[in-house]
Amino acid sequence: MHTEPKSPQEPARPATSGLGRRALFATGAALAAAVGAAAEPVANHARPQGRGTGSGASPAAIRFHGLRQAGVTGPQLPATQMLSFDLPPRSVAADRETLRNVLAALTGTLSGAAAGTLPDPRLHTGETTRLACVVGVGPALASRLALNVPAELADLPAFPDDRLDAARGNGDLLLQLCAADRWTLTVVAELAATAAQSAGAVPRWTQSGFLPHTAPGVTPRNLFGFKDGTANPDDTAAGRWVWGPPGAHEHGTILVYRRIHMDVAGFAAIPEDRQNKMIGRRIGDGVPLTGTAEHDDPDIYAKHADGAYIIPVTAHVRLSSPRLDGGARMLRRSYNYDDGPDDRGLLFCAFMRDPALFTRVQNRLATRDALIPFIEHRASAVAYVLPGINPGGTLGEQLWR
């Protein structure tokens, strides 16, 4: 069975807002923080968490506040913008102060944007804003500033055939904005970047991505044409494998991001039957080769009468199967990217308690996956996704010890 983890959410407060756009821009991040801290959405109840990226018949705003960040728990919205920032090193004390200021600025801007209370007229479309965010800190910053982060937070090792571009990966702060449309993303990304920069962060890289609009319950597809995100953990499994253990990090998780180039034309030229065997599922309906419905668990031990595995030994879902990892699961919420005809692919985004799981899976995939000739990992990042906050709080409250 497939569901995404739900996040207990706080009840809504009435809206309070009213600063002019010029004032917001003039005073920068600190004022943006104040706006967001004071502003609350009117209609911001959590949405049902099933698959499907379309906005549906009656879209509601997505609540920014809650135990966990909505960019992980909410519906997967069809457009994303990732932004990475560095904090130029000065002294540990000064950099901790900068980080506090950047997180306060981002909290203000993002909560205001999600609530639809920012004064920027470009966000006043007459439609409900649908925005969900993920804010995280990278392992290098966490260790440099001795932040209170999960012990598991660490950079990934190098994998066979990695072709990583450092300028498109890593970073001290990672921000993932997800929205119902490209317009909202562009405007909010600009406001968030301005807020972060005003508080001392330096932009490192950005990356945009997208999904097809799909009806509720319908899994979106990647550019190879396969449904992507079918086998994800239910609430119970997510509590064990995605979110932190009880304590300071219980409502945090770790994001592994990989920018994976895909040879879309080359893969499309392969006969469908072979494509299905490479993945271990049928391209049309996403059903595992061993099952009859999309959400059937792929049975990697099932064999044909002649003794051969039904899901071949190099099939992607065999090598990534949780059965090879003691049942450990990651929550995949990937996006497609299109940076021109020669560079299209997948923004692999997976949330997990311990990125060592990614390392184990990727070590199997990088050596045996049938997809190897058609993909290339070109950028990578890891970030501790901070727990959510209550109204009036600031992201990152758990970091300071």
Point out which residues pair with 351 in neighbouring strands.
Answer: 255, 331
Minimum distance of ligand HEM from residue 256's CB (angstroms): 8
Looking at 36, 136, 298, 387, which residue binds ligand HEM (CB under 6 A)?
298
Kindly report the number of other CB atoms within 10 A of residue 272's CB atom: 12
- Name the minimum Å distance from CB 383 to ligand HEM: 16
The candidate with the shortest Cα–Cα distance to 110, out of 123, 97, 96, is: 123
**Least distance (Å) between residue 95 CB and ligand HEM:** 32
Q: Which stretch binds ligand HEM (CB under 6 A): 92-100, 110-118, 186-194, 314-322?
A: 314-322
For ligand HEM, the closer of residues 40 and 369 by Cβ is 369
CB of 330: closest distance to ligand HEM in angstroms? 6
Closer Cβ to ligand HEM, 50 or 119, answer by number: 50
Q: Contacting ligand HEM (CB under 6 A), which of 51, 63, 259, 281?
A: 281
Q: Give the number of other CB atoms < 10 A from CB of residue 369.
A: 21
- Residue 58 makes CB contacts below 8 A (sequence gap 6+) with none
Q: How many residues bind ligand HEM (CB under 6 A)?
A: 27
Does the footprint of ligand HEM cover residue 51 (CB under 6 A)?
A: no
Beta bridge partners of 83: 175, 206
Question: Which one, of 171, 145, 159, 6, lies nearest residue 75 by Cα?
Answer: 6
Angle, alpha carbons 95-36-392 (nearest 5°): 80
Check: CB of residue 91 under 8 Å from CB of residue 200.
Answer: no
Listed in order, strand segments (DSSP E) in 138-215 are 173-179, 202-210
> Which among 56-64, 144-152, 177-185, 358-366 is the span making contact with ligand HEM, rule CB under 6 A?
358-366
- DSSP type of residue 46: P
Say how far residue 44 (Cα) sits from the centre of its chain. 21
Which CB sits closer to ligand HEM, 113 or 365? Answer: 365
Nearest distance from C-beta of residue 331 to ligand HEM, angstroms: 10
**Min. distance of Cβ 286 from ligand HEM in angstroms?**
6
Give the three-class secondary structure for 202: strand
Judged by CB under 6 A, the residue of 80, 321, 336, 394 near ligand HEM is 321
Residue closer to ligand HEM (CB basis): 103 or 300: 300
- Rule CB under 6 A: say whether 316 interacts with ligand HEM: yes
Q: Which residues are CB-neighbours of 189 under 8 A, at least 6 positions away?
A: 81, 83, 177, 206
Residues of the chain by 3-state class (helix, strand, coil), percent to 5 = 30, 20, 50
With respect to ligand HEM, which residue has the nearer C-beta, 15 or 237? 237
Residues 169-228 that bind ligand HEM (CB under 6 A): 222, 224, 226-228
Find the shortest distance in angstroms from Cβ 52 to ligand HEM: 14
| Nearest CA among 72, 101, 86, 80 for reference residue 330 | 72
CB neighbour list of residue 168: distance below 8 Å, 6 or more residues apart: 205, 207, 259, 378, 379
Site string for ligand HEM, 324-353 (x = CB under 6 A): ------x---------------x-x-----
Answer for the pair 392, 65: CB distance below 8 angstroms, yes or no. no
Provide the minimum distance between the beta carbon of 305 and ligand HEM in the complex, in angstroms, as a whole number.
24
Chain positions 217 to 276 lying near ligand HEM, rule: CB under 6 A, are 222, 224, 226-231, 258, 260, 262
380 binds ligand HEM (CB under 6 A): no
Whether 399 and 137 have beta carbons less than 8 Å apart is answered as yes
Binding footprint of ligand HEM on the chain (CB under 6 A): 222, 224, 226-231, 258, 260, 262, 279, 281, 298, 316-317, 320-322, 330, 346, 348, 358, 361-362, 365, 375
